[in-house]
Structure 1
C-alpha cells in the first residue's frame, strides 16, 4: 500500500507538469485554432533562462523567476513575430509555421548555448526527501504538486473573475462575435499566449529542478505527452486538458512502477494503447469541448 501511495504521488507530480503544458496548448488552440508544437521550446527557453541566470550569479529563487519571465517573453515574441500574421490561416499553414519556429529555436539553442545537457546546481535541500509512515517522498515531487494546484487555482480565478479571462472565454466560444463587440483581438490573443508561456515556464521550473539540467530537446517529449493529453481530454477543452494530463502522467508512472521487466521496454506503447482504447470509446475525449472544435 505504501508503495502504491508513493507512486500515486509521483503520478500527480508528473501529471501536473503534463496538465500545465496541455492547458497551455488548449488555451491557444481554443482561441486561434493553433496547435503550437513550438510550445516545448518555450519551456526549454525558460530552462535556459534559469541556467544563464545562475551562471551570472543570481540566487536560485531569482533565477526561477527570471526563467518564468523568459518563457512569457518568448511566448509573446512568438505570437507577435510568427503567428499574428498567420491568424486566420488554414490548419496546415499554422502547423507548418509552428514546426518551423520550433526547429529554428532548437538550432539556436544548439549553436548558441550547447547541443548537450548543461547542469543546473540547485540547493541540495531541493533534491532531498522526507518520511511519512513507510513512504519516502521527494521534496521536488511534493513542491510540484503544490505548485500545480496553486497554478491551476490562480488560472481558474483569472478565467472566471477577471475581465481579460472572461474575454478569453468569450473568444473561445465565438471569436468573431467578440471582435464585433469592440474587444481588441490582439490583446486577447496576446494574453492567451502569455498565460500559455507562464504555464510552460512553471513546467520548466519543476522539470529542471527534478532533472538538474537543461538541453535543446528538454521540452520536446513533455509537450508531446501534453499534446496526447490534450487529445485524450478533448481538443479545445480546458478542463479536458487538465484531466488528460493527469491521466497520462498516472499511466506513465504506474506502468513504469508495476510492469514486469519483460514488458518494461514497451511502456510507452502500452500507455498509448490505453489512450487509443479510451478514444475508441470516447472519440471526442474525456471532457469534449462544448462547441465544434473549441470551447
Structure 2
C-alpha cells in the first residue's frame, strides 16, 4: 500500500497544489468579508464562477478575431485577468450596496439568506446569458497554456512514477502566489489595509476616527470579489470546462478552507486552501488503495467536509485563529 501511495505522490502534489491555490484565493474573499462584517458571503462562489465565464468569453472573442495567434499568451492572460477582476470587483460592490448594506443592522440570519438568494440569482443570470449566446450553458475554453511538461522522476527515484503537468499549472501557481502576496501586502502595509483592520476591530470607533466605514467595506468587497474573478479565470484555464454551478461546491470548499485556517485570518485562509487541495487530491488518488477498494475517489468531498466538522468540534477558531472571550 505504501509503495502505491509513494508512486503517485508527485502527481498528487502537483494536482493538489493547483487545486489548493484556487481554494486559497477564493477563501481570501470569504475571510476578508467575515473579518469586517462577520458575514459569510455565500454569493462569493458565484462571483468566482462569473469571473470564469467572463475570462472564457474574452478568450473566445480573442480567438474568433484571431488575436490569440498575434498576441503573446501572457498578454492575453493579463487582459483576461484585468477584465474579469474589474467586472467581478464592481459586481461585489453592487451586491454589498443592494443586498447587504440595508441589512447591516438586521439579524445575521437575514443577511445570510440574502447572500444565498444572490448566489441563486447569479447562477440563473449567467446560465440565461450563456444559453442565449451559445445555445448551451456549459462552456469549453479554447486551448490555452496547454503544453504538457513531463517530469521523468522514475529515472531519478526508482519506485516513483513519472509526473506531468500542463503549462497552465505554472500559470495558476505563479498568479495565485502573486495575488496572495499582494493582498497580504495591501492589508498589512497600506493605509486602506490599516483602515480595513481598524473597521474589523471596532467599526464604531473607526468611524469616530474619521474613517469612512461604508467606503472601506465597499473597497473590501471590491478587492475580495476581484480576487474571486481572477481565480475563476485561472480555474477556466486549468480545467477547460465550466458551467454556472461550479461556484457552489468550490465555494463551499473554499469556505471550509477559510474555517480551517481561521475565518477572518488572511494567512490562515491561504494555508487552509492549500491544505484542503492537497488532502482532496491525496484522497482521490489513494482512498481506494487505503480502504482496499471499499471507498473510491468519489468520496473526496466527504473527506473535505469531514475536516470542517472536526475543526469546528475541536478547534472552532481554526488553526491560525484566536479564541475570543465572550463579553457579558
Q: TM-score, normalized by length of structure 2?
A: 0.82
Q: Which residue of 2 aligns with 1:21?
A: 26
The alignment of Structure 1 onto Structure 2 pairs a total of residues equal to 291
Q: Does 1:145 align with 2:173?
A: yes
Q: 2:105 aligns with which of 82, 88, 102?
A: 88
SS in 1 for 2:294: helix
Structure-2 residue corresponding to 1:209: 237
3-state SS in 2 of match to 1:3: helix
Match of 1:111 in 2: 128
Aligned to 2:185: 157
Q: Is the 8 A contact 2:284 2:299 kept in 1?
A: no
Structure 1 residues not aligned, in runs of 5+: none
Cα drift, residue 270 of structure 1: 2.8
Residues 170 and 285 from structure 1, CA distance in 2 versus in 1: closer, same or farther, beyond 3 angstroms?
A: same
Q: 1:139 to 1:54 in 2, by over 3 A?
A: closer
Max radius of gyration: which structure? 2
Uncovered stretches (5+) of structure 2, i.e. residues with no partner: 1-5, 69-75, 154-162
Q: Which residue of 2 aligns with 1:131?
A: 150
**Is 1:25–1:35's contact at 8 Å kept on the other side of the alignment?**
yes
Cα distance in structure 2, aligned partners of 1:290 and 1:273: 22
Instruction: Note the alpha carbon deviations across 1:129-174, whole angstroms, 9 max, x for none.
Output: 2133423232122221111211111111111111001111111111
In terms of mean alpha carbon deviation, does 63-72 or 145-154 score higher? 63-72
Shift of 1:101: 1.0
The match for 1:53 among 55, 58, 64 is 58
The 1:292–1:208 alpha-carbon spacing in structure 2 relative to 1, beyond 3 Å, is farther
> Partner of 2:294 in structure 1?
262
C-alpha offsets along residues 50-94 of structure 1, whole Å, 9 cap, x if unaligned? 233234436543334322222112111211222222223221011
Per-residue CA deviations over 1:164-201 (Å, capped at 9, x if unaligned) read 01111111111111111110011110111011112101
Between the aligned partners of 2:261 and 2:27, the Cα distance in structure 1 is 9
In 2, are the aligned partners of 1:229 and 1:244 still within 8 Å (CA)? Answer: yes
Q: Sort the Cα spacing of 1:83 and 1:139 in 2 relative to 1 into closer, same or farther, 3 A.
A: same
CA contact (8 A) 2:80 2:233 kept: no
Residue aligning to 1:98: 115
